[in-house]
Chain A
Amino acid sequence: MTVRELAESGIAAAICEGDRMEREITVPFCCDLLSIAMGKAPEGCAWVTVMANMNTLAVASLADAACIVLAEGVHLDAAALQKAAQQGITVLGTEQPVFETALAIYERMKAG
């Protein structure tokens, strides 16, 4: 499943469309602590988290995640949103909890 397909799947909606919407998602990944995510997030993952700030963006970009999925309806502030747009980072959002979101992504990926 590509990032764009995820954004159109109904699982989560785009808050910011980045540069690489056609990138293939490798796996969902869940974590809210930044340096654990930095060390463990697989390349190309859909990173599901409730931590929404500038540092989340930096970690996603440097660890090379395919996109950030903000769960539980958490929001980026205006400055962070602007930075995501500037850096071409895709951010999606959903009201669902972290586990349900990651599971839905996983199941959609398995279904092909």
Chain B
Amino acid sequence: MAEAITLKYEVSPDDFTRAGEASSDVKNKLKQLGFQPAVVRKVSIALYEGEINMVIHARGGVITVEVSPDFIRMELADVGPGIPDIELAMKEGYSTAPDEIRSLGFGAGMGLSNMKKYTDKMDIQTELGVGTTITMVVNVT
């Protein structure tokens, strides 16, 4: 691919059995564009965790993915409650997921650490009562 392309998704707040559709679509597009499987896998994992978090913790939001030959940049913006303590939220095992969400297999408190682990750069901007914007970059080496 010669030029960068931008993909945009509205993530719906209500039906999280459907959540993951944006991540699946990005995965398929990256595969079609011929990115290495390792790059596609990193982006898929990080984006899915972010997408699910938007649905479970923040009533949905907007995902923008910038795809260029050298890097994939993902931005996840929501107008949810914000994250009171980022350091605590990043801790493996910390979760505020309610019981009905846990019964579906979520709530291990590993999502944010997976996002960090599978990306080369991650930044969280958050304000209580205003929302959260998470930016992640996966380099294509």
Contacts and interface: CB of A to CB of B under 8 A. Distances in A.
Given A36-B110, A38-B110, A62-B23, 7 more contacts: A33-B105, A35-B111, A54-B18, A54-B20, A55-B19, A63-B41, A63-B45
A55 B24 contact: no
Interface in B17-45: 17-20, 23-24, 27, 37, 41, 44-45
Interface in A21-78: 32-36, 38-39, 43, 51, 53-56, 58-59, 61-64
Nearest to A61: B24
B113 interface: yes
Chain A contact residues, majority secondary structure: helix
Interface in B101-140: 104-111, 113-114, 117-118
A34 B114 CA distance: 11
- Chain A to chain B: the 5 pairs with minimum beta-carbon distance, closest first: A58-B20, A35-B110, A33-B108, A62-B44, A34-B105
Nearest to B107: A33
A56 B104 CA distance: 9
